[in-house]
Amino acid sequence: MVHRIVQVALASLLTSTLAAGAAWAQEEPAGGDAGGDGTTEPAGGEGGGEAGGEAGGEAGGGGEMTPAAEAPKPMHFDIAGVVAIPLSPEGFTDAAGIGIGPVVGVSYAMSEKLALAGHIGLIYHLAKNDITLMEIPILAGVRFMVIPKLALGADTGINILHFSGDPLPESQTNTRIPLAIHAGYGITPKIVVGAGLWIPNLLLTDEGEDTALELIAYVGYMF
């Protein structure tokens, strides 16, 4: 059931975003022929060029040129607030309430459309049936810009799950390999909102342990 939900969600997300991304990639860069081919002779000929150069040199303090605009930084740090809502299976939702917590990380742009990312977080799930769950995800992943301001992301790594509460004979700490699939939209150059699916225990599960699924949403700030 979990894998079916993931497949349906991914199919819908990828169909819409990849179609928009293909249209964006085919757009011609601004400027085109309007900038000319650089062969047109400047107005005023040699006289105008020499006079303008001398006048500009004297008036502008030696003719120093204005520095070009700085290129965008390839590396960004970020912090985000995350909300996680357990969806399935029944045993997991009976023991885990809604989770909230911070996630911090860094991203490095490999190109205009592709970036690498690493994050660590602490998600505290509200007590449910006298059981408390804490997750500590340590993740690495990729971000792909399908259209301006909209990126798809995938992350994996390790996830430490700590269960505690009166119904349990003792606290339990498990380490699992998770998977996150999400999409983020840049409201401003520094503020990003997003949502996706979080599988906290995709691999390294014990025999008979069901795969859990959570719906996540986040608001992040980049600096």
pLDDT tens profile 39-62: 444 444 444 444 444 444 444 444
Contacting residues for 74 by C-beta, under 8 A, at least 6 apart: 108, 109
Sole residue written with tokens 């301006």 = 148
Higher pLDDT, 188 or 66: 188
Query: Which pLDDT score, from 0 to 100, does residue 42 have?
Result: 42
Q: What is the per-residue pLDDT across 180-208, written as a single tens digit (0 to 9) for each?
A: 999 999 999 999 999 999 999 999 999 99
Q: Lowest mean pLDDT of 11-15, 36-40, 114-118, 126-130, name the range.
A: 36-40
Q: Quote the mean pLDDT of the chain.
A: 80
Domain architecture of the chain: domains with CATH: 2-16+81-222 (2.40.160.20)
Statement: residue 95 has pLDDT above 60 = yes
Contacting residues for 208 by C-beta, under 8 A, at least 6 apart: none
Higher pLDDT, 21 or 152: 152
